[in-house]
A and B are shown apart, each in its own frame.
Chain A
Amino acid sequence: MDGKPEQVRIIACGMIAREVLDIIERLKLGHLSLTCLPAMYHHHPEKIAPAIDKAICKARSEGYERIFVGYADCGTGGDLDKVCERHGVERIIGPHCFAFFMGMDAFTKLEDRDMTAFYMTDFLARHFDTFLIEPLGLDRHPELRDMYFGNYEKLVFLAQTEDDDLTEKAKAAAERLGLAFERRFTGYGDLSTALLETAS
Chain B
Amino acid sequence: MRPAIIWNGVQKMSDEDIVLSELPDDELVLQMHDDLYDGLKEEIEEGVQILLGRGWAPYDVLTKALVEGMRIVGEDFRDGILFVPEVLLSANAMKSGMAILRPLLAETGAPKVGKMVIGTVKGDIHDIGKNLVSMMMEGAGFEVIDLGINNPVEKYLEAIEEHQPDILGMSALLTTTMPYMKVVVDTLKEKGIRDDLIVLVGGAPLNEEFGKAVGADAYCRDAAVAVETAKALVSRRHNRGPA
A binds B: yes
Report whether A77 and B178 are in contact in the complex, using a CB–CB cutoff of 8 Å.
Answer: yes
Report whether B204 and A115 are in contact in the complex, using a CB–CB cutoff of 8 Å.
Answer: no
Interface residues on B, range: 20 to 34
Report whether A75 and B175 are in contact in the complex, using a CB–CB cutoff of 8 Å.
Answer: yes
- Contact of B86 with A by CB under 8 A: yes
In the bound complex, residues from chain B placing their C-beta under 8 Å from that of A112 are 123
Report whether A115 and B125 are in contact in the complex, using a CB–CB cutoff of 8 Å.
Answer: yes
- Contact of A76 with B by CB under 8 A: yes
Which of B97-105, B109-117, B185-193, B205-213 participates in binding chain A?
A: B205-213
What 6 A-B pairs have minimum CB-CB distances, sorted nearest first? A137-B85, A77-B205, A151-B125, A95-B175, A73-B175, A95-B176
Given A77-B205, A95-B175: 14 more A-B contacts, CB < 8 Å: A45-B204, A45-B205, A73-B205, A75-B175, A95-B174, A96-B175, A99-B176, A116-B125, A135-B83, A137-B83, A140-B7, A141-B85, A144-B85, A151-B127
Quick one: closest B residue to A72, CB to CB? B175
Report whether A77 and B84 are in contact in the complex, using a CB–CB cutoff of 8 Å.
Answer: no
- Contact of B223 with A by CB under 8 A: no
Q: What are 28 inter-chain pairs, A to B, with CB distance below 8 A?
A: A45-B205, A46-B204, A73-B175, A73-B205, A75-B205, A77-B178, A77-B204, A77-B205, A77-B206, A77-B207, A77-B210, A99-B176, A115-B123, A115-B125, A115-B150, A135-B83, A136-B85, A137-B85, A137-B86, A137-B88, A137-B89, A138-B85, A140-B7, A141-B85, A144-B85, A144-B88, A144-B92, A147-B92
- Contact of B128 with A by CB under 8 A: yes
Q: Which of B86, B176, B204, B205 has the most CB of A within 10 A?
A: B205
Chain B facing A: main interface SS? loop
- The smallest C-beta distance from A167 to any residue of chain B, in angstroms, reads 25
In the bound complex, residues from chain A placing their C-beta under 8 Å from that of B178 are 77
B residues sitting closer than 8 Å to A (CB atoms) are 7, 83-86, 88-89, 92, 123, 125, 127-128, 149-150, 173-176, 178, 204-207, 210
A residues sitting closer than 8 Å to B (CB atoms) are 43, 45-46, 73, 75-78, 95-96, 99, 112, 115-116, 135-138, 140-141, 144, 147-148, 151-152
Report whether A75 and B173 are in contact in the complex, using a CB–CB cutoff of 8 Å.
Answer: yes
In the bound complex, residues from chain B placing their C-beta under 8 Å from that of A135 are 83-85
Distance in angstroms between the alpha carbons of A151 and B125 in the assembled complex: 7
